[in-house]
Amino acid sequence: MEQMSAVEDAADEIESRCLGTRIRVLDRTLSTLFDRHLRPLGIRITQLTLLTAISQMGETGPRELVQRLRLEKSTVSRTIDRLIDLGWITTTAADDGRSYRIKLTRKGRNKLVEAHPAWQRAQAEAERMLGASHVSAIRKVGDAVGGKTRGQKR
């Protein structure tokens, strides 16, 4: 009986207070919204995120993308492979001979421009759904934990 109460107490507190769970639900909700808008163009928000970062960074490497976007190395590798298959990025061997450099192709730049209006519609819907005060709070928190990427161009 005492053990059951401890389990229920722990579950209640985690369910009611866990920031990690709430962020994951928000992430999945927003990813689904953006993917719905982008789907007719044959691109997902994860792919658009990488195209955008590569465009902003110029020629870059997988390690830099992992650091900038705070994604798992395996996620970046899978997405890079898919973007290569789609012809949106190209890779060249790095000077050290062990790694490689990534840059957008013309097709990738065109896809980024093509996706922009759909992204704008998704962004507007997300902002309406969340409300101005929550959007502002998300931006502030993102910037505070180092998620700010503006000005980090080439």
**Domain definitions of the chain by residue range:** 2-144
What band does 62 get if pLDDT is binned at 50, 70 and 90? very high
| Token digits of residue 133 | 């005060």
Indicate if the pLDDT at residue 148 is higher than 80: no
Greater pLDDT, 98 or 62: 62
CATH class, 2-144 region: mainly alpha
Q: Over 50: is that where the pLDDT of 118 sits?
A: yes
The structure tokens 């990738």 sit at: 108
pTM: 0.86
Residue 56: pLDDT over 70: yes
- The pLDDT confidence band at residue 48, using thresholds 50, 70 and 90, is very high
Query: Is residue 99 predicted with pLDDT exceeding 90?
Result: no
Which residues, other chains included, contact 143 with Cβ-Cβ below 8 Å and sequence gap of 6+? none
What angle separates helix 62-69 from helix 45-57, to the nearest 10 degrees?
A: 110
CA angle 49, 52, 57 (to 5 degrees): 125
> How confident is the model at residue 151, as a pLDDT?
46
